[in-house]
Chain A
Amino acid sequence: MTISDIRTLLSCDVYAGDDLLDRQVLYGCASDLMSDVLAFSRSGAVLLTGLVNVQTIQTAYIADVDAVIVVRGKRPDQTMISFAKEKHVPLLGTPYSMYEASGILYRAGIPSTMQAALKVHNSGRA
């Protein structure tokens, strides 16, 4: 599934990275806690979050997150949008709540990073 497919599923607005929507998404995670994202995300994950600030983009860039989707119709400010463009992190927004958006993506077949991360963690490293 691509970010473009997710855009359709979640009726997203695209704030940054509209030239990167063909990226493949392998996992999903949802959190407002950036340390949890750093601990349990994986390369190729989409992040659903209600945290709208520059650190969300910084975290996504550091952790190789494929795309950030802001939930519940929150609108990122211009600083966050500019930063996302600079870091080449696709930034989208959905009217759905975090619970609804997670459910829609999970039902569409995107597995959780957490399950994947735990398997790796149990074998000695996350």
Chain B
Amino acid sequence: MARSYSDSYEILGRDFIEAGNVSTEIKRTLRELGVSPEIVRRVAIATYEAEMNVVMYAKEATVKMEVTPKAIRITVNDRGPGIPDVDLAMQEGYSTATPEMREMGFGAGMGLPNIKRNADHFTIVSVVGRGTKLDIVVNIN
């Protein structure tokens, strides 16, 4: 059983060198806390997709992780362009990625659907010109 824990992390947009490091750090921390591998994997995938979205589209973001014995909550609050049509962005295959992003192996239009698939609770609030906030909860057990 994981003990309670919280931490926050910063992601810089366009920083393809560091992309994925926050998710890696979160994955390592959850393992050390004794969270089961399948739960860790789901949190890591959801966080990684969110992190890549920040790197590809936003200026910067703050990620917060809260772990309790019952659940893991990840919030990603970015300063960026926002998403004009969230319903459209949630559709598998819809993507606005550039060729550069596709060369990195991203931009398949699976990012937000992947986050939703791995979460027990997922909300997204986006304001055009301001940014996007994701709330991702994965239950333990």
Q: How large is the interface on A (under 10, 10 to 19, 20 to 34, 35 or more residues)?
A: 20 to 34
Interface residues of A, dominant DSSP: helix
Q: Check A1 for interface membership: any CB of B closer than 8 A.
A: no
* Contact partners of B19 in chain A: CB under 8 A: 55, 58
- Bound together, the chains give a CA A32 to CA B105 distance in angstroms of 6
Question: Given the known A-B contacts A32-B105, A38-B49, A126-B117, are A58 and B110 also in contact in the complex, defined by CB atoms under 8 Å?
Answer: no
Q: Check A107 for interface membership: any CB of B closer than 8 A.
A: no
Minimum CB distance partner of A42 in chain B: B41
Q: Check B27 for interface membership: any CB of A closer than 8 A.
A: yes
Check A39–B110 contact: CB distance below 8 A.
Answer: yes
- Bound together, the chains give a CA A32 to CA B106 distance in angstroms of 9
Question: Given the known A-B contacts A62-B20, A62-B45, A63-B45, are A55 and B27 also in contact in the complex, defined by CB atoms under 8 Å?
Answer: no
In chain B, positions 74-114 with a C-beta closer than 8 Å to chain A are 104-111, 113-114
Interface residues of A (CB under 8 A from B): 32-36, 38-39, 43, 51, 53-56, 58-59, 61-64, 87, 121, 125-126
10 more contacts with CB within 8 A, not counting A59-B20, A64-B41, are A32-B105, A34-B106, A35-B109, A36-B108, A36-B110, A43-B41, A53-B104, A62-B20, A63-B45, A125-B117
Q: List 16 A-B contacts (CB under 8 A).
A: A32-B105, A33-B108, A34-B105, A35-B49, A35-B111, A36-B108, A38-B48, A38-B114, A43-B41, A54-B17, A55-B19, A55-B105, A58-B23, A59-B20, A61-B27, A125-B117
